[in-house]
Structure 1
Amino acid sequence: MNWKKALDGMTPYKPGRSIEEVISLYGLKEVVKLASNENPYGCAPSVKEFMATAAIQHEIYPDGHASALRSKLALKHGVGEESILFGNGSDEIVMIISRALLSPGANTVMATPTFPQYAHSAKIEGAEIREVPLKADGQHNLDGFLNAVDSKTTVVWVCNPNNPTGNVIPIDDLKAFLGQVPDTVLVVLDEAYFEYVTAADHGDSVALLEHYPNIIVLRTFSKAYGLAAFRVGYAIGQSEVISNLNKVRSPFNNNSFGLVLAEKALEDAAFIEECRELNRQQRQRFKDYADRKDIHIFDSETNFVLIQVPGDADEAAEKLLKQGFIIRSGNALGTPGYIRVTIGTEEQTSKFFDAFDTLLSVEGSHV
Structure 2
Amino acid sequence: MDLALDIKALANEGVNGLHPYQPGKPVEELERELGISNIIKLASNENPLGLSPKAAAAIAKASVELARYPDANGFYLKQKLTNYCGVDADQLTLGNGSNEVLEILFRTFVSSGDEVIFDKHAFIVYALLTQSAGATSVAIPSVDWGHDLDAMLAAVTAKTRMICIANPNNPTGTFLTPLQLQQFLAKVPEQVIVVLDEAYFEYVPVAERANSIGWISDYPNLVVTRTFSKAFGLAGLRVGYLVSTPELADLLNRVREPFNCNMLALAAAEAVLDDSDYVNQSVLLNSQEMARLTQWCDDNKIDYIPSYGNFLTVQVDDAQSVYRKLLQQGVIVRPIGGYGMPNHLRISIGLVQENDRLMAALNEILATKK
TM-score (norm: length of structure 2): 0.94
The aligned counterpart of 1:352 is: 358
Which whole-Å CA distance do the structure 2 matches of 1:264 and 1:161 have between them? 25
Corresponding residue to 2:122 among 108, 114, 117: 114
Moved more, 10-19 or 244-253: 10-19
Q: Does 1:277 pair with 2:284?
A: yes
Q: Does 1:9 pair with 2:17?
A: yes
Q: Does 1:72 pair with 2:80?
A: yes
Which whole-Å CA distance do the structure 1 matches of 2:244 and 2:229 have between them? 20
Aligned-partner SS, 1:99: helix
Deviation of 1:29 (Å)? 2.8
Deviation of 1:217 (Å)? 0.6
Structure 1 runs, 4 residues or longer, greater than 4 Å off: none
The aligned counterpart of 2:158 is: 151
Kept in 1, the 8 Å contact 2:62–2:263? The answer is no
Moved more, 46-55 or 238-247: 46-55
Identify if the C-alpha distance between structure 1 residues 347 and 6 changes in structure 2 by more than 3 Å, giving closer, same or farther: same
Which whole-Å CA distance do the structure 1 matches of 2:42 and 2:55 have between them? 23
Deviations 1:91-121 (A, max 9, x none): 1111111111111121110001111111101
Kept in 2, the 8 Å contact 1:69–1:262? The answer is yes
Letter in 1 for 2:215: L
Which residues of 2 match residues 157-196 of structure 1 at below 5 A? 157-196=164-203
Deviations 1:297-330 (A, max 9, x none): 10101101100112x2211110101111111112
Letter in 2 for 1:345: L
Aligned-partner SS, 2:241: strand
Kept in 1, the 8 Å contact 2:122–2:166? The answer is yes
Kept in 2, the 8 Å contact 1:169–1:202? The answer is no
> What CA RMSD, in Å, does the superposition of the two structures yield over aligned residues?
1.4
Moved more, 57-66 or 120-129: 57-66
Letter in 1 for 2:347: V
Identify if the C-alpha distance between structure 1 residues 16 and 301 changes in structure 2 by more than 3 Å, giving closer, same or farther: closer
Q: Which runs of 5+ in 1 are unaligned?
A: none
Deviation of 1:9 (Å)? 2.6
Deviations 1:133-178 (A, max 9, x none): 111x222100011001122211110011000000111111111101
Q: Does 1:323 pair with 2:329?
A: yes
Deviation of 1:56 (Å)? 3.8
Kept in 1, the 8 Å contact 2:164–2:197? The answer is yes
Which residues of 2 match residues 163-312 of structure 1 at below 5 A? 163-198=170-205, 200-310=207-317, 312=318
Which whole-Å CA distance do the structure 1 matches of 2:369 and 2:89 have between them? 60
Deviation of 1:48 (Å)? 2.0
Letter in 2 for 1:101: F
TM-score (norm: length of structure 1): 0.95
Count of residue pairs brought into register by the alignment:
362
The aligned counterpart of 1:99 is: 107
Which whole-Å CA distance do the structure 1 matches of 2:340 and 2:333 have between them? 15
Which whole-Å CA distance do the structure 2 matches of 1:8 and 1:199 have between them? 43
- Percent identical residues: 38
Which whole-Å CA distance do the structure 2 matches of 1:355 and 1:182 have between them? 50
